[in-house]
Amino acid sequence: MDDTSVPQAAITEVPAKFGDGVVLLDVREDDEWQRGHAPDAQHIPMGDIPSRLAEIDNQAELYVVCHAGGRSQRVAQYLARNGYDPINVTGGMLAWAGAGRPVVTDDGSAGTV
């Protein structure tokens, strides 16, 4: 796998809040998302990305996250080939939660990774 084609961001380099041109794209499966996700993240499962590209802001500062960083790396490479400028989140949601960042469910209660 060619890791050089997509920038990597350690969790300390990833913004804690999203919106206003900064997007955290969570590409995990629905069941993973429902257990817990970053507040204000955008959820499109990895397999749905090709058919839902139009939903992703190609002008945004775009961080891509999954559980541990593997799937998001593949999605980020795909996005890079399709005109986006994505940044893969090293360590994924495991790193997010490990850094003490909030993990919520859709109703706003505490979630798990």
Q: Which amino acid is at 87?
A: I
Report how far residue 74's alpha carbon sits from residue 69's, in angstroms, rounded to the nearest whole number: 9
* pLDDT tens column, 20-52: 899 999 999 999 999 999 999 999 999 999 999
Which of these, 5, 3, 6, lies nearest to 63 by C-alpha position?
6
Other CB atoms within 10 Å distance of the CB of residue 71: 20
* pLDDT tens column, 83-93: 999 999 999 99
- Domains present along the chain, CATH in parentheses: 3-98 (3.40.250.10)
At 91 the pLDDT is 98
For residues 68 and 94, the answer to whether their CB atoms sit within 8 Å is yes
What are the catalytic residues? 66
Write the CB contacts of 16 (distance below 8 Å, at least 6 apart in sequence).
101
Write the CB contacts of 38 (distance below 8 Å, at least 6 apart in sequence).
18, 24, 26, 65, 93, 96, 101, 102, 103, 104
